[in-house]
Amino acid sequence: MKVFVGSDHAGFDLKEAIKNYLTEKKLEFIDLGTDSASKSVDYPDYALEVAKETVKDNNSIGILVCGTGIGMSIAANKVKGVRAALIYDEYTAEVAKKHNNANVITFGGRTMTPLEVDRYLTKFLNAEFEDGRHQNRIDKIHNIE
Ligand code: RB5
């Protein structure tokens, strides 16, 4: 599994915490920026880079962080093949995988703590897509593209 991570300035600190989590879990990742919390950047630029890389391989996931996770999810979902989900608790973490088969997950650097996000990541990474009727619904989403 390839993991691509990205953030804007508002998500930078949480992205660093997520990288620590991934390292602890021995999950390899590629950081596509940004590289500081102090320089203001535009979140769609990073959403696009992570989304483009993630859709190249079915086993890849993208993790995006902005201030709220909202802008990153809106932007990433513009890329064909992306199913980006804003995760904000353990339940949404689990069903983002089980029902939506999300290949990109987004978090809010200004709305969530690193400890909360560690728990959400654990839920997401341990969940399995349930297929069946959920795949039919995902097919309908991709037919919209
Ligand atoms: C940046 O100030 C902020 O607007 C951005 O990080 C994000 O929250 C947008 O959705």
Using CA positions, which residue lies closest to atom 10 of ligand 1?
71
Whether 71 has a binding-site annotation, put simply, is yes
The CATH number of whichever domain residue 115 belongs to comes to 3.40.1400.10
Range(s) of the domain holding residue 10: 2-144
The pLDDT of residue 132 is 96
pLDDT in tens, 42-71: 999 999 999 999 999 999 999 999 999 999
The mean pLDDT value for 7-26 works out to 98
- pTM value is 0.98
Beta strands (DSSP E) in the chain are 3-7, 29-31, 61-66, 84-86, 104-108
**69-97 exposure pattern, b = at least 16 Cβ within 10 A, e = fewer:** bebbbbbbbebeebbbbbbbeeebbbbbb
Q: How many domains does the chain have?
A: 1
For ligand 1, whether the C-beta of 100 sits within 6 Å is no
